[in-house]
Structure 1
Amino acid sequence: MRRNVKIQGIGSYLPKRLVTASEIDGMIGAQDGWSENKSGVKQRHFVTDETASFMGAQAAKLALQDACLSFSQIDCIISGSGTIEQAIPSNASLIQEQLGLQHSGIPCFDVNSTCLSFVTALDMISYAMAAGRYEHVLLISSEISSVGINWKQDESSILFGDGAVAVVLSRTDGSSGILASHMETYSAGAHLSEIRGGGTKIHPREHREETKEDFLFYMDGRAIFKMSSKLIPSFIEKLFRQTDLTMEDIDMVIPHQASAAAMKIIRRKLNVPESKFMSIIENYGNMIAASIPMALYEAIKQGKIKRGDRLLLLGTSAGLSIGGIILEY
């Protein structure tokens, strides 16, 4: 089902602290150049005093400016993020507070499918918008990965960065719209990337020296890639089956910025030329759910896509899940 929803505006926020690959090498005791060679990440941003809600609010303000709309026109605020600022309330509620909209009554809620949260939230809310429930929606992915990095796990610690991206979605009768969407979850891979502590199973009150690694991010990147790379070809086939399009009809693939090596292999597997595959990982790292909208932001700002172009948003996430959306920008 086509949903006539338009990305009306987009904005981003990056933390003040810029962290280079050389600095990461020093932090993990690696030879200079090792982390960049392994991950493809030259630099990324880490928070200092910024919170996720602060970053999300800053990105939201810029997205509203870009859309030429005011906050009084927003019907709903959604946080599509894989990390949370605090257990309760929702990230979206805290972003509303940061925006000075405490008494607005604008509904706020979170959608979390880890790295796919932006894609999942965009997919789900587009149905409500197409049905007439909302006219203008603020969708924000604001991620702080640096706080949960396990610096003893070299493979994952060299990948991540912090930051936020917001988009304004508007209902439209024009050419913009979502053409197809699909998601699959294979919980056989549920424990290949996880943070075991912090919930009700291993509550924060259980945090002590012998359990501290349960509260840090764990990832078996090789196993994740092996599993997801087998699943992606059939996933893509099911996604495109909803349309009369082929991969050749896609003007730009906007992938999750998992790692440089993984994206390179996926691009070749999909037979997509480099010019049609948006990679920003060298300057941002893996920004969890903010990766896909940040790559979209850069593609727009760099003039690599224009109105009417067909885009494929594609990624994998903890779960293990694969998700994708084909849209006309």
Structure 2
Amino acid sequence: MQNLFNHGVAITGSGSAVPATALDNQTLTQLVETSDEWISTRTGISQRQLALPPESLTTLATEASKQAIAAAGIQAEDIDLILLATSTPDDLFGNACRVQAEIGAYKAVAFDLTAACSGFVFGLVTAAQFLRTGAYQNVLLIGADILSRWVDWQDRRTCILFGDGAGAVVLQANSSDRLLGFALKSDGTQNHFLNLGYQGTTEQITPEIQVPTGKYHPISMNGKEVYRFAVQKVPEIIDKALFQANLTVDKIDWLILHQANQRIINAVADRLKIPEHKVISNVAHYGNTSAASIPLALDEAIKQGKIKPDDIIATSGFGAGLSWGAAIFQWGK
């Protein structure tokens, strides 16, 4: 990708955190009419981690951030900007500032970015723009969600899917540009297929005035339509990002998709003709962790020694909005 400002981007450190409590498929059969075989066959999920008090989005994001900063070889006070991609903050006004305080990044400006399951990829591209213009040198990008707060545990269409977690990366200004290409898309006409909508209850404050109260419905999803959307749009957006990067599919070392469903991951890899040994998946252990899923899978693969410096990674996030995006990057400086 052409770099107009002669400032490159490198992703230099990663970290992750998940709650301590696991909920496996067998336990879910006590809540709704389902089975381990039904869940694992259709989703690839065997268990998910649930955040229980005193765990919170802040604690998970903080732990992932500390790991990423240490892995990048810098200090918290070196961070110029914190982007927190989340749809489930502890504070509806924004959670990034709380993470800033917890890690001691006293120089950093911090704000939340909401794009649901696409949040990490959208955040990656947003962070890169601040680095490419030379405005900042070190950016902490976090993807974190606690979707268990917003699940109807009697709805077997959704309660089997979602888990909680956090992942983080550090992006730094670099002499060469390691974010090779990206593409982002949104289609609000399909918003009704996956949402967490406002619940229209009211409170009577005077005889003449009824004020809406701040409540939300649980997660609502049309699984068939979301599946159809993902298997069509994700290969297309990855192709567009590869075109931006002037690369072909065979140059990809690793494919890391949003961990929504193993069937989606397999279908996208098949359409792109990416072999199974290049596909990173941990959806079986964590379920759909929304904005956390890509950095969580990335960090796990790095710690396992799979991803090495200079490896080319294709990643794509997709989900509510509806929104989707892809990025091609090389790991490390």
Counterpart of 1:48 in structure 2 is 52
Q: Which moved more, 1:21-30 or 1:153-162?
A: 21-30
**Quick one: distance in 2 between partners of 1:199 and 1:328?**
46
Letter of the structure 1 residue corresponding to residue 45 of structure 2: V
Counterpart of 1:277 in structure 2 is 279
User: 1:6-52 deviations in whole A, cap 9, x for unaligned?
Assistant: 22211111111111111122222324543233321112210111110
Match of 1:108, SS?
strand
Counterpart of 1:210 in structure 2 is none
Counterpart of 2:127 in structure 1 is 125
**Quick one: distance in 1 between partners of 2:33 and 2:46?**
17
What is the number of residues matched between the two proteins? 319
Counterpart of 1:82 in structure 2 is 87
Counterpart of 2:258 in structure 1 is 256
Matches within 5 A, 1:166-177: 166-174=168-176, 177=178
Counterpart of 1:145 in structure 2 is 147
Report sequence identity in percent.
Answer: 32
Structure 1 unaligned spans of 5+:
208-213
Letter of the structure 1 residue corresponding to residue 161 of structure 2: L
How far did 1:231 drift? 3.0
Query: Does structure 1 residue 70 correspond to structure 2 residue 78?
Result: no
Q: Give the TM-score normalised by structure 2.
A: 0.89
Letter of the structure 2 residue corresponding to residue 64 of structure 1: I
Counterpart of 1:60 in structure 2 is 65
8 Å contact from structure 2 (residues 235, 268) kept in 1: no
Letter of the structure 2 residue corresponding to residue 243 of structure 1: A
8 Å contact from structure 1 (residues 24, 35) kept in 2: no
Matches within 5 A, 1:79-228: 79-88=84-93, 90-100=94-104, 104-174=106-176, 177-197=178-198, 205=213, 207=215, 215-228=217-230
Q: Give the TM-score normalised by structure 1.
A: 0.90
**Quick one: distance in 1 between partners of 2:185 and 2:97?**
29
Q: Which moved more, 1:151-160 or 1:197-206?
A: 197-206
**Quick one: distance in 1 between partners of 2:86 and 2:264?**
22
RMSD of the alignment, in Å? 2.2
**Quick one: distance in 1 between partners of 2:252 and 2:200?**
40
Counterpart of 2:41 in structure 1 is 37
Q: Which moved more, 1:317-326 or 1:24-33?
A: 24-33
Counterpart of 1:8 in structure 2 is 12
8 Å contact from structure 1 (residues 44, 161) kept in 2: yes
Match of 2:118, SS?
helix
Q: 1:275 to 1:196 in 2, by over 3 A?
A: same
8 Å contact from structure 2 (residues 47, 284) kept in 1: yes
User: 1:83-107 deviations in whole A, cap 9, x for unaligned?
Assistant: 222211x110121233355xx2521
User: 1:150-199 deviations in whole A, cap 9, x for unaligned?
Assistant: 2232122111110111111111114x610111011122211100011269
**Quick one: distance in 2 between partners of 1:311 and 1:92?**
27
8 Å contact from structure 1 (residues 74, 137) kept in 2: yes
Letter of the structure 2 residue corresponding to residue 97 of structure 1: A
Counterpart of 1:266 in structure 2 is 268
8 Å contact from structure 2 (residues 17, 63) kept in 1: yes
How far did 1:216 drift? 0.4
**Quick one: distance in 1 between partners of 2:114 and 2:89?**
9
